[in-house]
A and B are shown apart, each in its own frame.
Chain A
């Protein structure tokens, strides 16, 4: 039962060994720390960069231009905002050169709330990132998908943005990643001993990577129905996805049937799966934790109205983060700023109970 951080680490290791990944870099990405969330511990091509986000993104673009395959990390999405024009540049290189250049590069950054990160460690980035064409953007909600989405990113010839929901990075999954030890407490302990760096002096430590890791992929642009249902479609990703699933399970005994879709790839997204589900249920709720104004979910609502207005039995709804300058540190502030289980339960009831 790998954590999401371990899953990402194993995928990156697979990438180093099999997919030509030459550089995994960023602030504190290399030894001794191996990333503030440990996602890059023990990787042979991981290295520390200057504390310079623009340099990190610029270097990633240049490495891609040189035909090298890199994964660059910005330590928290809160610090990626000063690279927006470089992200825009990366996204337009293929288009601007009419296909002459492409950029195989991946950027990963932890996003969202859930660790009481206050104003500068809680930002979401999905709304901003989905405004930048030319990128493929993913956000996993469990370790298996985290592994498979990373492998897909590493194989893609375009810029890929891998958003890591920081609240889920240490959460264990329920599905085994091909190659990882058995899903037992013993297997969990074994994996930890193999690939988690010890506390204290790490100078002599080397990981023992599981044999049998594969190029298991979650194809980009492919959503997943994680809870089938008939009365309402809920579309989410990242931190709020497990909450939506939990809500659906909680409401099932009441006779409420909720279909939960894990979008997994935010761009280009799997409209076919969303569309099919909306046509079936006639009701839809989009859930994410980025701020609610010009939220990515608003685009999905616009498309829902454009294409499914006459299929709908209730207003399409968005449950998102409050439009505030930041997420406040105190527990009541964070809980009130971004969707929690209670908010999702209420929103689901509201949409289902709305008169057709």
Chain B
């Protein structure tokens, strides 16, 4: 059965999407086994790491976890256990190093996070329970982020300063200004971190962010991040953006900027470290643009199928880890299989969790309010 004609990343040309996986339920699904690894270029000779091996193993673990969570959410969508999927598979090599360097907590003594909807890797690194992501995908009443009100990938967690993620692609660049102002006044080392894709930087809010963050003598402690996957849904960035790098747009504002390969774990780590240290100590903004991949396309609206030829940062990292003798293939496979089994189990369990009660539709329109109020 042909699924539909849909938008594709192939230069705007319409093609028929691949046949969907046969419909099944998680109960019928066999226990997962690791897929065949995609071919990646052989690692460079004597691939060496600057990061501690224990940290590398931890990063790998979180990258695998993040990838497996996203792949489970995609399966849920394809098995009719969710209406819509969008997420961040392909951004793990950047998101996990970022998550590990965030100062997590509530209030002005900790970092404020204005994230976009491809941020599962960051959230899992901060300690989010994958089951909660499964719940949001299934839009159950137990979804702690929105109680069944919002899409997958739209987390919210006040105790970690994770402000509600929205489907708009740019408003986070505007709201981040406010926490930046509060943190400038508060002092200390906490900062505001805002992330978004390169397509969203065409919106005026990105320009607002640059202007407000760099007001003379009133600079804001903001790490402004652009994850550039080179696509705005089906539109190639190269057809819409004349600038060589989005990061260059910070330069007229006397802003420190950097472009880095976000598909390389170590390059990400050190770029984030450099940027964060500058913002934490100088209390001034830093615009960091990173190249990332989009492994499964924009969202379920474009099929949520593996995109041929897309660079896989996890496969690249695993090849390097293996080549450098940090991990062996068997360990990596075991880890992936373990997470896949756990996520399948979560998928099975969430199907029996309650859906939201229709009587709650008015709840929380205002703080502390329940039921119809007018």
Interface residues of A (CB under 8 A from B): 22-23, 49-50, 52, 54-55, 57-68, 70, 85-86, 89, 93-102, 133-134, 136, 157-158, 267-269, 271
B140 at the interface (CB under 8 A from A): no
List 10 extra interface pairs beyond A62-B179, A86-B174, A89-B175, CB under 8 A.
Answer: A50-B208, A58-B175, A63-B178, A66-B112, A93-B164, A94-B367, A96-B150, A98-B144, A101-B158, A157-B366
Q: Is the CB of A50 within 8 A of B215?
A: yes
Q: What 0/1 readout, one digit per residue, does chain B (103-145) give for beta carbons within 8 Å of chain A?
A: 0000110001010000000000000000000000000000011
B176's closest neighbor in chain A, by CB?
A: A62
Q: Tell me if A59 and B212 are in contact (CB < 8 A).
A: yes
- Is there an interface contact between A63 and B146, defined as CB atoms closer than 8 Å? no
Instruction: Choose the segment among B180-188, B235-243, B257-265 that binds chain A (4+ C-beta atoms closer than 8 Å).
Output: B180-188
A69 to B325, CA, bound (A): 54
In-complex Cβ contact of B178 among A65, A96, A267 (8 A): A65
Q: Do A58 and B367 touch (CB < 8 A)? A: no
Complex: A23 Cα to B186 Cα, angstroms: 13
Q: Among A54, A61, A70, A158, which residue has the most Cβ atoms of chain B within 10 A? A: A54
Please report the C-alpha to C-alpha distance between residue A93 and residue B166 in the assembled complex, in whole angstroms. Answer: 9
Chain A residues whose C-beta falls within 8 Å of the C-beta of B154 in the assembled complex: 96
Whether B366 and A158, one on each chain, are in contact in the complex, defined by CB atoms closer than 8 angstroms, is yes
What secondary structure prevails in chain A residues at the interface with B?
mixed
Q: How far apart are the CA atoms of A259 and B367 in the complex, in Å?
A: 34
Q: Which residue of A lies closest to B141 (CB)?
A: A98
Q: Is B157 an interface residue (CB 8 A)?
A: yes
- State whether A97 touches B146 (Cβ < 8 A): yes
Residue of A at shortest CB range from B185?
A22
- Nearest B-chain residue to A60, judged by Cβ: B178
Task: Establish whether residues B205 and A54, one from each chain, have CB atoms under 8 Å apart when the complex forms.
Answer: yes
CA distance in complex: A86, B183 (Å): 21
Chain B residues with Cβ under 8 A from A65's Cβ? 112, 163, 175, 178-179
When the two chains form their complex, are residues B181 and A59 in contact, meaning their CB atoms are under 8 A apart? yes
Cβ-neighbour of B146 out of A61, A62, A89, A98 (below 8 A):
A98
- Of the candidates A89, A98, A134, A269, which one forms a contact with B366 in the assembled complex, judged by CB atoms under 8 Å apart? A134
**Are B108 and A66 in touch, CB under 8 angstroms?**
yes
Closest to B212 in A: A55
B16 interface residue (CB < 8 Å to A):
no
- Rank and list the top 3 A-B pairs by shortest CB-CB distance, nearest first: A62-B178, A58-B174, A66-B182
Tell me the minimal C-beta distance from A63 to chain B in angstroms.
Answer: 4
B365 touching A97 by the CB < 8 A rule? no
Closest CB-CB distance, A130 to chain B, in whole Å? 11
A50 touches B163 (CB 8 A): no
Q: How far is the CA of A271 from the CA of B149 in the complex (A)?
A: 29
CB proximity of B185 to chain A, nearest CB, Å? 7
Q: How far is the CA of A13 from the CA of B15 in the complex (A)?
A: 63
A-B contact pairs, 28 of them (CB 8 A): A22-B182, A49-B212, A50-B208, A54-B174, A58-B178, A59-B175, A62-B114, A62-B177, A65-B178, A68-B178, A68-B181, A86-B171, A86-B175, A94-B367, A95-B149, A95-B364, A96-B150, A96-B156, A96-B164, A97-B145, A97-B146, A97-B164, A97-B364, A98-B147, A98-B149, A101-B156, A101-B163, A136-B366
Q: How far is the CA of A101 from the CA of B163 in the complex (A)?
A: 8
User: Quick check: B150 and A58 within 8 Å, CB to CB?
Assistant: no
- Minimum distance in angstroms from A271 CB to a CB of chain B: 7
Instruction: Please tell me if the beta carbons of A58 and B158 are within 8 angstroms of each other in the complex.
Output: no
A89's closest neighbor in chain B, by CB?
B171
Contact A97 to B178, CB < 8 A, known contacts A58-B205, A102-B367: no
The CB with the most chain A CB atoms within 10 A, among B112, B164, B176, is that of B164
Q: Is B28 an interface residue (CB 8 A)?
A: no
Q: Which residues of A contact B145 (CB under 8 A)?
A: 97-98, 100
A89/B168 in contact, CB under 8 A: yes
The chain B residue sitting closest to A97, CB to CB, is B156
B174 is contacted by which of A59, A68, A94, A95 (Cβ under 8 Å)?
A: A59
Least Cβ–Cβ distance between A56 and chain B, in angstroms: 9
Knowing A55-B212, A268-B373 are in contact, say whether A85-B178 is a contact too (CB < 8 A): no
| Contacting residues, chain A, for B209 (C-beta < 8 A) | 55
Q: Is B22 an interface residue (CB 8 A)?
A: no
Closest to B145 in A: A97
Q: Are B171 and A58 within 8 A (Cβ)?
A: yes
* Complex contact A62–B366 (CB within 8 A): no
Closest-CB distance, A5 to chain B (whole angstroms): 26
Task: Please name all residues of chain B whose beta carbon is closer than 8 Å to the beta carbon of A49 when the two chains form the complex.
Answer: 212
Contact: A100 with B374, CB < 8 Å? no
Q: Which of B108, B144, B177 contacts A67 (CB 8 A)?
A: B108
Given A50-B212, A58-B205, verify A99-B181 contact (CB < 8 Å): no
In the complex, the answer to whether A52 meets B171 with C-beta atoms within 8 Å is no
Residues in chain A near residue B112, CB distance under 8 A: 62, 65-66
Q: Across the interface, which residues of A come within 8 angstroms of B185, CB to CB?
A: 22, 68
B368: chain A residues within 8 A (beta carbon): 99, 157
Q: Does B363 contact A (CB under 8 A)?
A: yes
A57 B163 Cβ-Cβ under 8 A: no
Kindly identify which residue among B176, B178, B212, B363 contacts A98, using a CB–CB cutoff of 8 Å: B363
A136 CB contacts on chain B under 8 angstroms: 366
User: In the complex, what residues of B have CB within 8 A of residue A134's CB?
Assistant: 365-366
Cα(A20)–Cα(B78), bound, Å: 50
In the complex, B354 has a CB within 8 A of chain A = no
Residue of A60, A100, A157 touching B157 (CB-CB under 8 A)? A100
Whether, in the assembled complex, B211 has its beta carbon less than 8 Å from a beta carbon of chain A, the answer is yes
Contacts of A50 in B (CB 8 A): 208, 211-212, 215
User: For B149, what are the chain A residues with a Cβ–Cβ distance below 8 Å?
Assistant: 95-96, 98
Contact status B182-A158, CB under 8 Å: no
A62–B367 CB distance below 8 A: no
Task: Pick the contact of B182: A63, A86, A96, A101 (CB < 8 A).
Answer: A63
Question: Are the CB atoms of B181 and A94 closer together than 8 Å?
Answer: no
CB contacts (< 8 Å) of A102 on chain B: these are: 366-367
> At the interface, yes or no: B204 with Cβ under 8 Å from chain A?
yes
CB distance from A25 to the nearest CB of B (A): 9
Contacts of B157 in A (CB 8 A): 100
Nearest chain A CB to B172's CB is how many angstroms away? 9
A158 in contact with B367 given A50-B211, A96-B146 (CB within 8 Å): yes
A325 to B145, CA, bound (A): 42
Q: Which residues of B lie under 8 Å from residue A268 when comparing CB positions?
A: 373-374
- Assess A67 versus B171: contact at CB under 8 Å? Given A62-B181, A100-B158: no
